[in-house]
Amino acid sequence: MAAAVRDFLRAAGLPLDSDPNLVGTPERVAEAWGQFLDGYGRTPEDALGETFPGPPDASGELVVVTDLRFQSMCPHHLLPVEGRAHVAYVPRSRVVGFGRLGALVDCFAHRLILQEDLARAVASSLARVLKSPATACIIEAEQSCLRIRGDRQRDARTHSEAYEGQLRKDGALRRELWARLSTMRR
């Protein structure tokens, strides 16, 4: 990767050997991109880690964790995306630690992935791994490709939603989720 970055910088006409600020840049960029893309080496099962028995008397109550900050890279322009994910699920027989939900978001965010696909991957993985009857991932983000290039919409935020199971249809459970998210924003 460092060799490719070196070739890229040379193709851009930059003086790699004479500019002290560029000495070591290819190696630093390669190291940074290794972190940006480390999600390809993880599975949702790895990210969620150990699961625990769910509450025996659970009858459709939501578990909601909001404002899980993430960073990603746009697959179209290789520019940064920063955002917050709000993740919800209804436990069935298994639950995970709250922090593991952030790890699940990062598992997919640390790939070249569209925001819509990120939300879908989180919601579907939670449904599959935890066998949850209802999951959701709602993402709000700031896309650098929208903010710093083209029309330069500096204040634009993008929103994506993905639902699985009982949350897929607009019903009481989805309204409860949105009511919780609304009260947390005040």
* 17-56 pLDDT per residue, tens: 899 999 999 999 999 999 999 999 999 999 999 999 988 8
pLDDT at 185 (0 to 100):
61
The beta-carbon contacts of 111-115 under 8 Å, at least 24 apart in sequence, are 111/37, 111/39, 111/40, 111/72, 112/37, 112/73, 112/74, 112/75, 112/78, 113/72, 113/75, 114/74, 114/75, 115/72, 115/81, 115/83, 115/139, 115/141, 115/143, 115/158, 115/160
Q: Give the model confidence (pLDDT) of 121-137 as tens digits.
A: 999 999 999 999 999 99
pLDDT at position 161: 94
pLDDT for res 158: 86
pLDDT in tens, 92-117: 888 999 999 999 999 999 999 999 99
Q: What sign has the CA pseudo-torsion 102, 105, 109, 111?
A: positive
Identify the pLDDT of residue 52: 92
